[in-house]
Amino acid sequence: MKIRTTLNISDEIIKETEIAYDTTNRSKAVEMALRDAIRYKKIQMMKSLKGNINFNDKILKDLRSKDRYE
């Protein structure tokens, strides 16, 4: 679903975004930049979990091998 909205963004930022994403379509450039920003934030959140979650390697290997043969 797409919605129409009004944003107050400087022309300089819009032009840089259009150049970065090789497009002259402002909506497309902003959407692509937002998707990248969300992806980056998710990666940062996952990285912050490093060392906080313990995995049992044997269980993971067993689960992976079961998936291959089902």
- Domain count of the chain? 1
On whether residue 65 sits in a domain, the answer given is yes
On whether residue 2 sits in a domain, the answer given is no
Burial class from Cβ neighbours inside 10 Å (0-12, 13-18, 19+) for residue 26 reads middle
pLDDT reported for residue 69: 56
Domain coverage including residue 24: 11-69
pTM: 0.68
Higher pLDDT, 56 or 67: 56
Q: Which residues contact 12 (CB under 8 A, 6 or more apart)?
A: none
Chain segment 5-30, per-residue pLDDT in tens: 999 999 999 999 999 999 999 999 99
Q: Are 30 and 17 in contact (CB under 8 A)?
A: yes
Q: What angle do CA 33, 37, 39 make, to 5 degrees?
A: 115
On whether residue 28 sits in a domain, the answer given is yes
Q: Which residues contact 25 (CB under 8 A, 6 or more apart)?
A: 18
Chain segment 29-53, per-residue pLDDT in tens: 999 999 999 999 999 998 888 778 7
